[in-house]
Structure 1
């Protein structure tokens, strides 16, 4: 059995939105879909598919795509990945959120029983199921930080700083929150197959 370090990056978004995850080799494609949903902050509202070594995989939903393989039984170790191998994950066929997934490291492991997936790095965030882009208000709030940095605290109020903290918390990448979600058992109930 192996442990895989992968990078999931949403293509065509600036600033980039990406996550680095560690997963066990016995992670099924259905679980990988769920893990990516949690890591990206998505809510499983849209159809998806993986494209691995020229073949499409995914969870079949009534009225959606069908796939020849059961995503609950196909696991990462089945593909014989090497470091540097790539595949894609498309989520939301309307907006075509294409994610590039790259295998960054592979480490053999003897005891996989206690291993849970986790996110060890990332950048960017989704707000209301849409990629986050800075608004003029957030640029103005970042000016407050510049004032503080340059010693112009006399013009800064506690309310300004509180607003800055609230806005920052709403948009920052929060690895601990993602890992709290990933530490919970992945439920078979979310998979309709």
Structure 2
């Protein structure tokens, strides 16, 4: 049977202008591998916990104490819980609470000479880790745009001179995704 590829649009919630990526992921990937695809495509560093929600069911790393009802993401393949039109909720960093909508836009047969996963499009840089969620990120952007802002120099130093909220490079993201194969 030909390998199915899921075209997924990953959109970061509560951030304007929108930060999003379009990735092509093998349907046979477990949700743990889909997590790593989102991390690399978005630009996160995988420093924090995460979870998926699909049709009201939570998936993630099992709770060693058994207190949380989370199904093991290592046991669930993308093609077992999703199809064209499915929306998955992916939450990263339970402190900053970054929610992402993963919309399966299409499902198609893999191109024989193409390597997957890959990032085919996107817009804007991912917010830096530990910035304080969507509210903290909005404050960061205001301070970075205004050299007279009292926090401008401090936050520019914290985020680094190379950070540009408008920048995104799909080729670089695909290069990072190739490490997953």
- Which TM bucket (shorter chain)? 0.7 to 0.9
Pair 1:38–1:66, CA change in 2 (3 A): farther
Aligned match of 1:154: none
The one-character-per-residue Cα deviations of 1:99-158 (angstroms, maximum 9, x if unpaired) are: 11101001134969x7420111111113532457363258xxxxxxxxxxxxxxxxxxxx
Give the structure-2-normalised TM-score: 0.73
Q: Give 5+ residue unaligned stretches, structure 1.
A: 139-166, 187-193
Local SS of the residue matching 2:163: helix
Query: Segments of 4+ in structure 1 off by > 6 A?
Result: none
* Number of residue-to-residue matches in the alignment: 156
Aligned position for 2:155: none
1:84 aligns with 2:85: yes
Backbone CA RMSD of aligned residues: 2.8
Distance 1:117 1:56 in 2: 24
Question: Aligned runs of 1:55-134 on 2, under 5 Å?
Answer: 55-60=57-62, 66=68, 68-79=70-81, 81-109=82-110, 115-126=115-126, 128-129=128-129, 130=131, 131=137, 133=141
CA contact (8 A) 2:4 2:27 kept: yes
Which structure has the bigger radius of gyration? 1
Counterpart pick for 1:33 among 32, 35, 56: 35
- Separation (CA, whole Å) in 2 of partners of 1:102 and 1:51: 12
Unpaired segments ≥5 residues, structure 2: 132-136, 148-160
